[in-house]
Amino acid sequence: MTTAARPTWDAARELLRQRGLRWTPQRRALIGVLSASSGHVTATQLLDRVRAVDPTTAPSTVYRTLDTLEELGLVQHTHGAAGREEYHLLPGSEHGHVICERCGANVELSAEALGQLTATLLRGDGFRVEASHVTVGGLCATCAADAAG
């Protein structure tokens, strides 16, 4: 997807209406929370933040709307530490994650590095990787040095 074609939070209302969905107070609250967030957030974190704005928001509304927003390219679900499902907001490209199992540091694996990793798996085993599910555990440089010392 090119930068010009990438949807924005400002377009969310119209994109949802094109899907036949109403612009409810709960969806408006979710879009407001998402547009004020950055990086990765869990659905539970989003639900808590949305309920602070609109306590009537049902979890099913948040989850269904997140599914639709993923189809529209506004969020991308990923799997973080311990397989926890997270949402990457306004994703620019597919990427993976490298997470330190000691300190919890989370670094994005670039699209290029992810491409090399998935190409190696495809060549070696014929395995096609779902990029949003790539999370590699290990030790960051600091924790590895501490463990070695």
Domain CATH for 62: 1.10.10.10
Domain's final residue, options 89, 117, 137? 89
Residue at 2 is within a domain: no
What's residue 137's pLDDT?
85
**109 Rama class: left (phi>0) / alpha (psi -120 to 50) / beta:** beta
- pLDDT of the chain, 149 residues: tens digit per residue: 344 467 889 999 999 999 999 999 999 999 999 999 887 888 899 999 999 999 999 999 999 999 999 999 899 888 766 667 888 888 766 777 888 889 988 888 888 888 888 888 888 878 787 776 678 888 999 999 999 87
Q: Are residues 81 and 13 in the same domain?
A: yes
| Residue 58 domain boundaries | 9-89
Domain's final residue, options 70, 89, 108? 89
Residue at 115 is within a domain: yes
* pTM of structure: 0.71
Q: Are residues 56 and 125 in the same domain?
A: no
Residue at 1 is within a domain: no
Residue at 4 is within a domain: no
CA separation for the pair 142, 29 (Å, rounded): 40
Domain's final residue, options 89, 113, 134? 89
Q: Are residues 76 and 115 in the same domain?
A: no
Q: Are residues 57 and 82 in the same domain?
A: yes
CA separation for the pair 90, 69 (Å, rounded): 10
What's residue 132's pLDDT?
65
CA separation for the pair 139, 149 (Å, rounded): 14
Q: Are residues 101 and 61 in the same domain?
A: no
Q: Are residues 84 and 26 in the same domain?
A: yes
What's residue 93's pLDDT?
67
Q: Are residues 85 and 14 in the same domain?
A: yes
What's residue 94's pLDDT?
72
Residue of 71, 132, 56 whose CA lies nearest to 96 = 132
Q: Report the DSSP pairing between strands 96-100 and 135-138.
A: parallel
